[in-house]
């Protein structure tokens, strides 16, 4: 399902969970525009944790138990995405 910090899909995610359906985020970091990646709150969190905004967003999905399959064609992005597994932010954020 399309899911990102702007489109949280809470009701649909809850519906899927109650029926044992695995949720996979489509467009997990937005639709390729820079609006979400320039969101001030996310930029602040990225700076706080020394991560990219994309990593913060992916961690948010992971902490919500939503599967994230980010698209990339660049080796450095693939490495960056993999390093996200060792990063955990505060659940209140």
Q: Where are the alpha helices (DSSP H) in 2-89?
A: 10-18, 40-49, 53-63, 75-83
Task: Give domain limits for the chain.
Answer: 10-86
| CA-closest candidate to residue 32, choices 12, 9, 4 | 4
Token pair recorded at residue 34: 């820079």
SS3 (DSSP) at 30: strand
pLDDT digit string, tens, across residues 21-76: 999 999 888 876 678 999 999 999 999 999 889 889 989 999 999 998 877 677 77
User: Residue 45: CA atoms inside 13 Å, Cβ hemisphere, count?
Assistant: 20
pLDDT digits (tens, 9 = 90+) for 24-36: 999 888 876 678 9
| pTM, 2 dp | 0.78
């Amino acid at each position: 399902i399309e899911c990102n910090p702007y489109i949280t899909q809470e009701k649909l995610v809850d519906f899927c969970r109650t029926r044992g359906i695995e949720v996979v985020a489509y467009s997990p970091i937005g639709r390729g525009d820079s609006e979400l990646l320039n969101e001030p709150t996310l930029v602040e969190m990225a700076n706080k944790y020394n991560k990219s905004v994309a990593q913060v967003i992916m961690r948010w999905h992971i902490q919500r138990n939503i599967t994230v399959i980010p698209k990339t064609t660049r080796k450095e992005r693939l490495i960056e995405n993999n390093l996200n597994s060792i990063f955990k932010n505060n659940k209140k954020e």
